[in-house]
Chain A
Amino acid sequence: MNTVVAQLQRQFQDYLVSLYQQGFLDNQFTELRKLQDEGTPDFVAEVVSLFFDDCSKLINSMSRSLERPENVDFKQVDSGVHQLKGSSSSVGARRVKNVCISFKECCDVQNREGCLRCLQQVDYEYKMLKTKLQDLFNLEQQIVQAGGAIPQVNIN
């Protein structure tokens, strides 16, 4: 039993570290994890799922804005990107945030092609992160079910 927990814990550790190393996450995610305690055991998962819901809504609305080649409401797109950038930066979704930065640049110069490209990228990145984090949370659950504690992971 103990060995299973230990294995799961190591697996969790490695996985989390890999997410940092591959640039999916940054220190803000660590901050987020610090905020999770007994009182709010699912805090990270809640925030993250809120974030993903937000992402999908914003991406939908932005893609509608960018749908037609003429008369793109860049202002609206910009506000969406701003929102997304703030959120992603807040949860530590590093790759999403980075795409948002170039997305915003495209938006500033009203480059529709660039915006569409960034939109696709953002879509891809957030979905990617979503599956990765789902895996991570699954691991967490398994550990908890196996009676173990979520290990502290020091990312440096």
Chain B
Amino acid sequence: MVCEMETDQIEEMDVEGLSSMWPEDVGTQADNQFNVGDSDTLKEVDIAEKHTMADLTRLPELMNTTDQGSSQLTNLVRQWEYMQDHAVRLLREELKILTRQREEAEAKELKIIEEHNFESQEPENVPVLDETSHLFRRFRQKKRDELVDRERVVIDEEFDTVAYWKQKALSLEKMLEASTERERRLIEKLNESLKTMESHSAPVEELTQNLKRAEGFLHFILQNAPIVMGHQDKDLRYLFIYNKFPSLREQDILGKTDVEIFHGGGVKESEDFKREVLEKGKASKREITFETELFGSKTFLIYVEPVYNKAKEKIGINYMGMEVTDQVRKREKMAKLREDNAVRKAMESELTKTIHITEETMRAKQMLATMSHEIRSPLSGVVGMAEILSTTKLDKEQRQLLNVMISSGDLVLQLINDILDLSKVESGVMKLEATKFRPREVVKHVLQTAAASLKKDLTLEGNIADEVPILVVGDVLRIRQILTNLISNAIKFTHRGKVGIKLQVISQPSFANEEQKETSVWICCDVYDTGIGIPENALPCLFKKYMQASADHARKYGGTGLGLAICKQLVELMGGQLTVTSQVNAGSTFTFILPYKVATSDDHSDDQDEFSDMVDHHQPEPDDTTEGYFQFKPLLGSIYSNGGSVTGNNFLPHKAMLTTPLKLTNGFVSDPSSNTGQSETVQVENGGYMDESRQNCCPESAHQYGNGNGRCSSKESESCSSSQASSEMESELTVSSPREEEKTETEVKETSQPKILLVEDNKINIMVAKSMMKQLGYTMDIANNGVEAINAVKDSSYDLVLMDVCMPVMDGLKATRLIRSYEESGNWEAAIEAGVDIKTSENDQACVPPTNRLPIVAMTANTLAESSEECYANGMDSFISKPVTLQKLKQCLQQYLQ
């Protein structure tokens, strides 16, 4: 394409006719103008020399005084001389030919005579012929002076001795005569021509003629050429110009300099150039673009040479300009085209490279995510099993080994979760949920969880300004994740003092977009600590992936270096901003500003009732929903005194901070019992009690499952923290009522099995799954779609839900989301909003907020990573790919029920 264009261009150029150097209309106008003026009439007549202008008086002078001039004359003279020489040589040659002819003729004659002589010798032998020989001798004599005695000889020969010879002699005579005559005439001619040669006019005349011819020739060649020629003296005044601009008259140019004649761009440059040549004494070429009023924009290729006189002094310059405007334009156009072309090519290649890199990156990310996911499932199995193992009887060494194993496993799990989160955010897969939540509650829960696993002498505090709304709408899970991340980070790098969260409403920040401006309240959240701080030079890379403030820190404190990067991305995903200020050895403050929609709090009262119900079981305390300040002191004494159960706490920090945000909710939701009002002594007591209860319950864990609420040894063993141990007791009491079929607690403990719900619409699948369950020793309830599942979950508490993804009426993803929302909020508002007909059963009191997160395992026909990602995003805990096999089912049950 490009090539074609180029050739096209070239052809165009080739074909295009040359326009005259000077504009045509200007030319004619000028001519007309000349017609009017008398002074130019003569010139007009002299058509051939119309454009020529020469100072005739000066020109000969110039010719005589300059080297060029004299050499020209010398040349002419030399040429003339050469011509003359040539003529002479020609004549000489002719003469030579003639001479040779004559000699030949004479030789011929002689020969004839000799022949004759020879023939006549025979008769000579005869005495009778004496007379003839004599005659011959005489003839020979005569022949020598024929010119004198010819007549006479002829007469003599007419003697009738021998007729034949007489005849012959006669003809010979005639020939001779003719030849002689010719010779004579030639000589005459030669003389004549010599004479005319002498009489030839002087060479000057011929020189003039030659000059004229040269001029004519120049005219002929240059008449239409876009060439202007001139001679200027050493002041650069024109002495001679050829093919001037038509509207200028002779007197306008001669004796003037360029600057005096023209105005505009390029004039000065050309004058300077001429001067430069004059000074340097060296001929030179340059391209100059003129921009004059007279003829507009024209580019000339100018050749200037200095002119010397015979004394080798500079007396001026000759200059010749050729108009190359079109060529220059074309050249520039071509150059531009080529440049554009090159640029485009470069851009193209750059683009291809970028695309390639992007593709590679995407592939790598996808690969990383897929791999991470593939690793996570078996790893959670390993860690889970290890955790279960840690609840069995082990000797000290085994326990230590196991602890190392669990904490390493947790670290890897955390890393993988982080990577998955990151890739989710980066690939835009992560979708934000809009749920109502209470910021105070969230802050409290986050701090509580952190406090539960705190092993340092730190005070954790939460401070929420009064103007912060009670209820806002946002993605509470993500916000929790961010808060938890920041808090755990703060705790990690703080050795004494305090770590806290401060919430306040701020005015709309400058980065808010239109949409946000309308409906949002902006809440600024500070997470501050009195830790080691961050050096200023480390701040820029703080939010980069896999980066920590320094390698030393990384070694000392561990961690993946992904936490802050995720926080930042999440905050930005939600339309906010995360910043940090820090002072070394004084502490850091991470601040994130997020927009929230303010929720109408009409449903608030219901919630509060539930909460206050729960709260009422304890001694009075400030209301969770409005309380603005919390403080948590470390529970050092109690935790460290508990030899056996410390293990559980040892790996808790990892879990609480680092597993997916979904899991974090476990800790939060079961909070009501662990209130701030509890005194230290109570805690210690609880710790002791809990220790006991653990030892009791662990070996015969089966009965705990039956309860469905107070599971202590499951994967979510967060509930084992001392403060929550009491909740276990509490919830057992509260929840026992909905389960009518339970006769007494002890009975339940012995007979009940884990309660499993299968949500599946396909009869055959149900049949197969049921049969498998049976073989594994379990029974299960069946729901045929999401709505049925929600109702089932609402009416009784399950230990595990196996959820088909694709179902009629309501699919598994949505059902899971609604169940999670219920766990989050403690009510089925979201489900009702979604159109689920929540049957208000007689046992309304069953609608307590769930104390545990219900494990929901997806059953998906598509085993692609994308679909499993979707499962996780919707709150599912893991997934089984279809078709379900015994092995898979067994693994799943082991993971979630033991």
User: Contact residues of A with B, CB < 8 Å?
Assistant: 27-28, 31-32, 34-35, 37, 40, 43, 46-47, 50-51, 54, 79, 82-83, 85-87, 89-92
Contacts and interface: CB of A to CB of B under 8 A. Distances in A.
Contacts of B296: none
Given A47-B767, A82-B806, A90 B775 contact: no
Interface string B860-884: 0100000000000000000000111
A89 B882 contact: yes
B762 A35 contact: no
A118 to B, nearest CB: 17
B808 A47 contact: no
Nearest to B882: A89
Top 4 A-B pairs ranked by shortest CB distance?
A: A87-B764, A35-B771, A86-B762, A89-B883
Nearest to A37: B775
Nearest to B773: A35
Contacts of A46: 767
Contact of A31 (B761, B763, B767, B885): B885
A92 B885 CA distance: 11
Given A50-B764, A79-B808, A82-B806, A90 B882 contact: yes
A90 B772 CA distance: 12
B765 interface: yes
A101 to B, nearest CB: 10
Nearest to B889: A31
Nearest to B769: A90
Contact of B764 (A31, A34, A40, A51): A51
Contacts of A37: 775
Contacts of A86: 762, 764-765, 861, 882
B886 A50 contact: no
Given A40-B771, A54-B763, A87-B764, 6 more contacts: A35-B886, A51-B764, A83-B761, A86-B882, A89-B861, A92-B883
29 contacts: A28-B885, A31-B768, A31-B772, A31-B883, A31-B885, A31-B886, A32-B768, A34-B886, A35-B768, A35-B772, A35-B774, A35-B775, A35-B886, A37-B775, A46-B767, A47-B764, A47-B767, A47-B768, A47-B771, A51-B764, A54-B763, A79-B808, A83-B761, A86-B764, A87-B762, A87-B763, A89-B861, A89-B883, A90-B884
A83 B762 contact: yes
A38 B320 CA distance: 117
A89 B764 CA distance: 10
B808 A90 contact: no
Contacts of A40: 771
Nearest to B808: A79
A87 B861 CA distance: 11
Interface in B774-815: 774-775, 806, 808
B195 to A, nearest CB: 115
Contacts of B884: 90
Contacts of A35: 768, 771-772, 774-775, 886
B883 A54 contact: no
A56 B772 CA distance: 26
A83 B760 CA distance: 11
Interface string B457-493: 0000000000000000000000000000000000000
A15 B774 CA distance: 29
Contacts of B883: 28, 31, 89-90, 92
